[in-house]
């Protein structure tokens, strides 16, 4: 009898823990601030890591445009690949838990789009198609920057 109560308690505790973790994974560590953007609260080193990744995406965008201007699809593919999903593979799980789900979704969509741009460039798709995909990708960047700001805790 005691074993079944203990097992039931353990299962309930596990469910509550999973629900709390799920809530924080979706909500992230955010705070309301004046204006229209919400703040994502990070440690200074975490904030710098996210900003460094954004600068990398911006650098890849510039590389894609430079490659398209020179009609060098190998350069386009290389620049895009540098910011593809492979660049997001080593993110610290604790940092990911602090980021709200919509931020993560926008970020992952940009990384996936960079992989698609690299694949399109490598397969010889027209520059206009790649520019269109890059323009759509930048819409995600604009939406993210309009919704969120990174603050140090």
Pairing of strands 30-32, 38-42: antiparallel
Residue 13 in tokens = 């505790």
Whole-prediction pTM = 0.80
Tens-digit pLDDT profile for residues 57-85: 999 999 999 999 999 999 999 999 999 99
pLDDT at 21: 57
Residue found under tokens 């838990």:
97
Which segment of 12-16, 48-52, 73-77, 128-132 scores lowest on mean pLDDT? 12-16
Q: By percentage, how much of the chain surpasses pLDDT 70?
A: 80
How many angstroms separate the CA atoms of 11 and 28, rounded? Answer: 25
Domain boundaries, the chain: 2-152
How many angstroms separate the CA atoms of 149 and 51, rounded? Answer: 10
Q: ∠32-145-87 over CA atoms, to 5°?
A: 115
53: enclosing H helix or E strand: helix 44-69
Q: Which CATH architecture has domain 2-152?
A: Up-down Bundle (1.20)
Tens-digit pLDDT profile for residues 74-129: 999 999 999 999 988 788 888 999 999 999 999 999 999 999 999 999 999 999 99
Which segment of 34-48, 122-136, 137-151 scores lowest on mean pLDDT? 34-48
Beta carbons of 147 and 38 less than 8 angstroms apart: yes
Beta carbons of 59 and 66 less than 8 angstroms apart: no
């Amino acid at each position: 009898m005691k074993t079944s109560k203990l097992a039931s308690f353990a299962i309930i505790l596990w469910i509550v823990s999973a629900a709390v973790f799920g809530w924080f994974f979706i909500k992230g560590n955010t705070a309301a601030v004046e204006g229209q953007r919400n703040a994502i609260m990070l440690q200074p080193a975490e904030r710098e890591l996210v900003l460094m990744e954004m600068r990398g995406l911006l650098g890849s965008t510039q590389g894609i445009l430079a490659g398209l201007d020179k009609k060098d699809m190998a350069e386009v593919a290389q620049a895009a690949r540098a910011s593809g999903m492979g660049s997001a593979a080593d993110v610290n799980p604790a940092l990911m838990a602090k980021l709200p789900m919509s931020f993560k979704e926008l970020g992952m969509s940009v990384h996936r789009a960079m992989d698609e741009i690299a694949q399109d460039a490598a397969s010889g798709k027209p520059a206009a198609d790649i520019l269109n995909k890059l323009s759509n990708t930048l819409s995600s960047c604009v939406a993210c920057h309009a919704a969120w700001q990174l603050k140090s805790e």
